[in-house]
């Protein structure tokens, strides 16, 4: 206590380790007061700004957030063409349009969602039960669209575009359909493509496949799917709270087409072999022709008598009906 009352205004007892004890001078007190005032002003400004954002402008920013959502889109890449040994195109691509259903943008009430699905079923011909089944399977990923139908006709496209306000969560996307210039010729070799199934997606998910992918289901299309499928692109699209686009998509990654596949098949020889098999009602496959060397393992033609419907191109719904259950030579 004696040191506290010592001359010189010391407020702390003397420390033998220092020559001069700490002193609270007026200059030091002024600096501490300035620093404290600045810290208090900064915290007050941050608090007022936060209060303004949450209370004064909260409703406005919430409306803007609900009205602007950035969505990542997958841009389908065209599959690679398939050629015969002479360069004739056996399989190519034609542009098409498909209907996608985004679960997160559907009406929240069940009666409104059911009315929309019924109206969409009347346009596309896809049953409501099938759409509901696919929606249940994708409950864990509501931001991934469901492909309802591919290869829409012009009247379907125009109707959905004109009544877009009546179909929230429905989007028209560009797709690619396989075209077979020679129709059903060599169908048992070429195979067909179709929408990936949930079981196939579970097996191929690790290889980068998406639930909306179209993959080979038989023949060359299936055996060489890794080379034919290409790499899909990515784009970002700004939409409002009802899923309606507010601007055009911004491409982040351009799609890359699949590789070109050349077969040893001779389409002219294949036509002759199938015509001969159809004429003589043969039901056995012809693995080679007299023009092929015996030492060669190349297949120039293969044929089996079967009444095949002739289709120009395939989509998700018509692929299996027109090109299934034919023997494969690969």
CB 74 within 8 A of CB 196: no
Asked whether residue 229 is domain-assigned, the answer is yes
Query: Which pairing describes strands 261-262 and 82-83: parallel, antiparallel, or unpaired?
Result: parallel
Q: Are residues 6 and 149 in the same domain?
A: no
- Both 246 and 186 in one domain: the answer is yes
User: What average pLDDT does the chain have?
Assistant: 77
pLDDT digits (tens, 9 = 90+) for 26-48: 777 888 889 989 999 999 999 88
pLDDT at 102 over 80: yes
Q: CB count, 10 Å around CB of 30?
A: 10
Residue 125 lies in a domain: yes
Helix orientation angle between 110-124 and 154-162, rounded to the nearest 10 degrees = 150
79 part of a folded domain: yes
Q: Provide the number of structural domains found in the chain.
A: 2
Q: Give residue 26's pLDDT.
A: 78
* Cα–Cα distance for residue pair 290/294, rounded to 1 Å: 9
Alpha-carbon distance of 37 to 56, in angstroms, equals 27
Average pLDDT over every residue of 171-194? 89
Task: Looking at the structure, tell me whether residues 34 and 140 fall in a common domain.
Answer: no
Which of helix, strand or coil describes residue 216?
Answer: strand
* Residues with Cβ within 8 Å of residue 18, at least 6 apart in sequence: none
What tens digit of pLDDT does each residue of 161-175 get? 999 888 988 989 888
Residues 113-153: tens digit of each pLDDT? 999 999 999 999 999 999 998 888 877 777 778 889 888 99
Boundary (domain end) residue, out of 246, 262, 278: 262
One domain, residues 129 and 10: no
Residues 2 and 127 in one domain: no
Same domain, 74 and 52: no
Q: In this structure, are 11 and 124 located in the same domain? A: no
Instruction: Judge if 119 and 167 occupy the same domain.
Output: yes
Are 218 and 168 part of one and the same domain? Answer: yes
286 lies in a domain? no
User: For position 142, which CATH number holds?
Assistant: 3.90.1310.10
pLDDT tens-place string over residues 255-297: 999 999 999 888 888 888 888 877 765 444 444 444 343 335 6
Position 133 in a domain: yes
Q: Are residues 110 and 21 in the same domain?
A: no
User: Domain span at residue 109?
Assistant: 69-262
The verdict on residue 184 lying in a domain is yes
**What's the rounded Cα separation, in Å, for the pair 53 and 61?**
8
Q: Are 265 and 88 in contact (CB under 8 A)?
A: no
With beta carbons less than 8 A apart as the criterion, state whether 289 and 269 touch.
Answer: yes
Q: Which of 202, 231, 262 is the last residue of a domain?
A: 262
Task: Assign residue 199 a region (left: φ > 0; alpha: ψ between -120 and 50; beta: otherwise).
Answer: alpha
| pLDDT attached to residue 20 | 56
Looking at the fold, whether 14 and 102 belong to one and the same domain comes out as no
pLDDT at 330: 29
Tokens of 214: 């179209």
Identify whether residues 106 and 21 lie together within a single domain. no
Structure tokens at 172: 């028209």
Going through the chain in order, the beta strands assigned E by DSSP cover 69-75, 82-83, 89-101, 146-150, 170-179, 192-195, 214-218, 233-239, 250-253, 261-262, 313-314
In a domain, 246, yes or no: yes
Q: Scan for tokens 């039960």, then name that residue.
A: 129
- Percentage of the chain modeled with pLDDT above 90: 28
Asked whether residue 81 carries a pLDDT value surpassing 70, the answer given is yes
303: its two tokens: 């044929």
Q: Which of 262, 288, 304 is the last residue of a domain?
A: 262
pLDDT for the residue 52? 78
pTM for this predicted structure: 0.63
User: Residue 319 domain-assigned?
Assistant: no
């Amino acid at each position: 206590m004696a040191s506290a009352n010592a001359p010189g205004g010391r407020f702390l007892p003397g420390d033998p380790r220092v020559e001069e004890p700490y002193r609270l001078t007026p200059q030091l007190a002024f600096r501490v007061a300035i620093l404290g005032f600045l810290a208090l002003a900064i915290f007050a400004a941050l608090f007022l700004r936060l209060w303004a954002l949450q209370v004064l402008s909260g409703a406005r920013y919430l409306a803007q957030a609900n009205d602007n959502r950035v969505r990542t889109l997958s841009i389908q890449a065209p599959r690679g063409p398939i050629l015969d040994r002479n360069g004739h195109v056996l399989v190519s691509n034609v542009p098409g349009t498909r209907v996608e259903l985004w679960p997160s943008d559907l009406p929240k009430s069940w009666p409104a969602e059911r009315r929309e699905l019924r109206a969409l079923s009347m346009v596309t011909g896809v049953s409501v039960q099938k759409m509901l089944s696919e929606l249940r399977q994708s409950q864990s990923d509501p931001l991934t669209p469901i492909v309802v139908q591919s290869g829409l006709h012009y009247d379907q496209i125009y109707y959905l575009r004109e009544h877009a306000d009546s179909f929230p969560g429905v989007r028209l996307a560009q797709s690619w359909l396989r075209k077979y210039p020679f129709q059903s010729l060599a169908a048992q070799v070429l195979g067909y493509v179709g929408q990936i199934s949930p079981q196939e997606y579970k097996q191929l998910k690790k290889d980068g496949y998406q639930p909306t992918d179209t993959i080979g289901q038989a023949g060359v299309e299936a055996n060489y799917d890794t080379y034919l499928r290409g790499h899909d692109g990515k784009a970002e699209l700004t939409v409002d709270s009802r899923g309606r686009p507010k601007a055009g998509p911004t491409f982040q990654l351009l799609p890359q087409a699949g590789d070109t596949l050349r077969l040893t098949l001779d389409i002219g020889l294949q036509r002759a072999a199938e015509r001969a098999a159809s004429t003589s009602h043969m039901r056995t496959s012809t693995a080679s022709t007299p023009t092929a060397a015996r030492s060669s393992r190349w297949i120039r033609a293969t044929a089996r008598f079967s009444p095949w419907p002739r289709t120009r191109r395939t989509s998700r719904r018509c692929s299996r009906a027109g090109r299934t259950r034919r023997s494969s030579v690969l």
